[in-house]
Structure 1
Amino acid sequence: MGHFSRGSGRRCVSRAVLGGVTLALVFMLLLIGGAGSALATTLSTPYLAMTVQPGQTVTIDLSITDTVAQRLDLSVQGVPDGWEASVLGGGRPISAVMTDPEDELSLDLQVKLPPEAVEGTETLTVVARAGATTVSLPIALTVSQVEGGTTELTAEYAALRGPATATFTYTLTLKNSTLEERTYNLSAEGPENWTLSLTPSGATQETPTVSVQSQGTQKLQFKVTPPTRVEIGTYDLRVTASGSGETVSVPLQVEITGTYTLGLTTPDGNLNADVKSGDTTRVQFVVTNSGTGPLQDVKLSAAAPANWEVTFEPRTIDVLPANQQQTVTAVFKPAENAIAGDYVVTLTAAADEASADSDVRVTVKTGTLWGVIGVLIAIAAIAILGFVFRRYGHR
């Protein structure tokens, strides 16, 4: 026969109730744990605030991490009228992703500003939603005509100097400090009839465009060749790079100092002269400056045989303008005992910038008196020999 005890029944009911409460607490903890996992989504970017320009397209890095694998719906809120904003995955617009607790998702936020975007700060919010749970990432974009991260074009040396025959080479640096890769259109300006060549460093051919990575630089070589007859003076040049609504330029200068070319010859180009020993002979020469710059203090000199005298009238040309010539006189006086024959005398015209040499063949001829004396001596010698032959020849 069964036996029922009131006290023992109460203890059983108490244990049942306690067990039910415990099970409920465990279930609630599991629910809380699940909710906690859903809230463990992280949405981040290294760029929470930046300056942009009207008409610019900005690409901002995004990353998502999660502790569970789940679907996240993505959207961008707070987009001003006329702006375009989208989340990109693999270069394409996306609206949802599947997270992986073992891997970080890398995405991009692309924002296109209209050219008429008003200056000021706008906050765009990237939202990731999983059911009733949302994670938000606000990003502040300040619109300004001058972008915080911008493009710079600089020259290692902005001014060069040299003669018209030189080719001038400028080394330029194009720096992209923006948050996106940019393609720039390149152009160069200079005086008419000058040859201009703009190439990326290491390239052999000119190119109208060049791409520069975000936070990267590109070296450029700008070569300038003036025309042959360019006048002395200072000339202005300019190199320009434009891309993504931004234009930068660098002013350059080249100073042409002129070309200096001296020539020294006779009026007819015949570099021969006849002189008499012991006498002075005057021969005209032409000094020519065929360069583009004036020559100053042009000195005339000669290298002649020993005991010869060679002087010039004038000995110095103070100023010889470009494409001009001046006639000078060389005065030759051979040595008294110079033997008849050909000699070489080197004449020199020299300035600080240029010089010219001419080798002149100088033919020395004996004077008339000495010729007569020589003939008489020869006749006397012949007469003496004839007399001796007639008188003593038959003995």
Structure 2
Amino acid sequence: MRGLILAAVSIVLAAFAPAAHAEDAPAGVKGLFLMADFPSVTVRPGTTSTVSLRLQNYGLPPELLDLSVQGEPQGWNVSLLGGGQPVAAAMPPTNGNVSLQLRIEVPANASGSQTLTVNAKGKDTNVSLPIVVSFAKNLPAKLSLEPRLPNLRGTAKSSFEFTVAVKNDSGKNLLVSLAAQAPQNFETSFTEAYGSQELSSIPIDAGQSKDVKLKVRPPSTVKAGQFPVTMRAAAEDATVETKVVLDITGQPQLSLAGRGGVLSATAVAGKESSIPIEVTNTGTAPADDVELSGSGPSGWKVAFEPKSLDNLAPGQTREVQALITPSEKAVAGDYVTNLRATARGESASATFRIGVTTSTLWGVTGIGIIAVSLLVLVGAVARFGRR
């Protein structure tokens, strides 16, 4: 019975063992091992570095192991981390491992080289690993670029802004030059992340990073598609590049004009005049449900035939008739009429000068009234002038 219980407990423990760390032991290998991919590192004085470690158990039962570091010089700050937290012990499972990090913070006046010894000590097992730390005051220039959002979507009217972290990974301060390579007729510029001043270079202290904005404005006539832009940062012998992508969607763009581009016409007071109007889509996407409307001086009527267009393809021009009726009381002269075309997310307007003339009947009537007035005046002078 006791054997059955132990077997059941063993099965449960095996089921809950961390599968990500489990692996078969190599043939003929058994024991506890403390390993590092890079047991000898070169760091810059006054900085903090991290060395990745691995505590591997091949074929041994799990055991609590105390962790320690020996050889820490005065003024240094050395600690062991597990899962991002300081740890003092570890227990790797059978045929499994535990990941550790040796965090090394060295003073600015450190020189030469030092050896730190990492120990893992249990009741029956004791392993150690020496880590050699050397110093170099003049590490070669090294840069890195990290765009926060490398792909942005918008229309040809959009202004695309990419925030990019520029990091100086070298051991000295650098003046970093910035450049961008974009498709033809695309405009590019750089500004600080929280400013509007354009710049072509930026100073970055050793081990620090700064955010810059890469602004890209596409030409208004660009077609829909994806357009890559290469950003380049350079300082001394170091050069680094990264790519960002503009995902440009199509956008309709409307324009209104009279036939042949004319923006003037004539009309007769009180009478409807038909004026040919050309509606053009100069954009890169179809314009759907284009509504036509207009307005004029008080008492005027403005309508269209047809009143709307179902679809206007990119580059297409359709002719419609603007039906304009000036007020019957309008006197001869020039008037302004506004015509509009509106589609989903896009609109256009044009101002037309309408020269109004009065009806011939009104002219004849006016002449008659003037003639009668003159006759009455002459008769009055002739009659009363003799007295």
Which of 355, 362, 365 is equivalent to 1:363?
355
Equivalent residues of 2:113, 2:132 under 8 A apart: no
Deviations 1:129-165 (A, max 9, x none): xxxxxxx992279xxxxxxxx9975332232233335
Residues 387 and 223 of structure 1: CA distance in aligned 2, closer, same or farther (over 3 Å): closer
- What aligned pairs does 1:71-86 form with structure 2 within 5 A after superposition? none
Percent sequence identity is 33
SS for the counterpart of 2:130 is strand
SS for the counterpart of 1:335 is coil
Q: Which runs of 5+ in 1 are unaligned?
A: 1-47, 66-103, 111-122, 126-135, 142-149
Q: Does 1:107 align with 2:111?
A: yes
Residues 162 and 386 of structure 1: CA distance in aligned 2, closer, same or farther (over 3 Å): same
Q: In 1, Cα distance between the equivalents of 2:244 and 2:280?
A: 34
Matched with 2:222 is 230
Equivalent residues of 1:308, 1:335 under 8 A apart: yes
Matched with 2:340 is 348
SS for the counterpart of 1:107 is coil
Q: In 1, Cα distance between the equivalents of 2:372 and 2:233?
A: 97
Bigger Rg over Cα: 1
Q: In 2, Cα distance between the equivalents of 1:213 and 1:388?
A: 107
- Whichever residue aligns with residue 274 of structure 2, its letter is R
Residues 107 and 281 of structure 1: CA distance in aligned 2, closer, same or farther (over 3 Å): same
Residues 187 and 385 of structure 1: CA distance in aligned 2, closer, same or farther (over 3 Å): closer
Matched with 1:266 is 258
Q: Which runs of 5+ in 2 are unaligned?
A: 1-33, 46-70, 75-107, 118-127, 134-141
Q: In 1, Cα distance between the equivalents of 2:334 and 2:192?
A: 61
- TM-score, normalised relative to structure 1: 0.52
Q: In 1, Cα distance between the equivalents of 2:356 and 2:301?
A: 13
Matched with 2:43 is 59
Residues 315 and 383 of structure 1: CA distance in aligned 2, closer, same or farther (over 3 Å): same
Aligned length: 273
- Whichever residue aligns with residue 169 of structure 1, its letter is E
Which of 279, 292, 297 is equivalent to 1:300?
292
Equivalent residues of 2:177, 2:200 under 8 A apart: no
Equivalent residues of 2:230, 2:242 under 8 A apart: yes
Q: In 2, Cα distance between the equivalents of 1:255 and 1:227?
A: 14
Matched with 2:124 is none
Which of 213, 232, 239 is equivalent to 1:221?
213
SS for the counterpart of 2:111 is strand
- What aligned pairs does 1:161-240 form with structure 2 within 5 A after superposition? 161-174=153-166, 191=183, 194-195=186-187, 205-206=199-200, 213-214=206-207, 216-237=208-229
Deviations 1:335-379 (A, max 9, x none): 334444433222222334443333333333222233333333444
Deviations 1:224-278 (A, max 9, x none): 34345321223334557899xx999765321224566543222244433322222
Matched with 1:317 is 309
Residues 49 and 365 of structure 1: CA distance in aligned 2, closer, same or farther (over 3 Å): same
Q: CA RMSD in A?
A: 4.9
SS for the counterpart of 1:372 is helix
Deviations 1:278-330 (A, max 9, x none): 22111112233344444333322222233321111222233333444332211
Q: In 2, Cα distance between the equivalents of 1:340 and 1:105?
A: 93
Equivalent residues of 1:63, 1:106 under 8 A apart: no
Equivalent residues of 1:288, 1:323 under 8 A apart: yes
Matched with 1:252 is 244
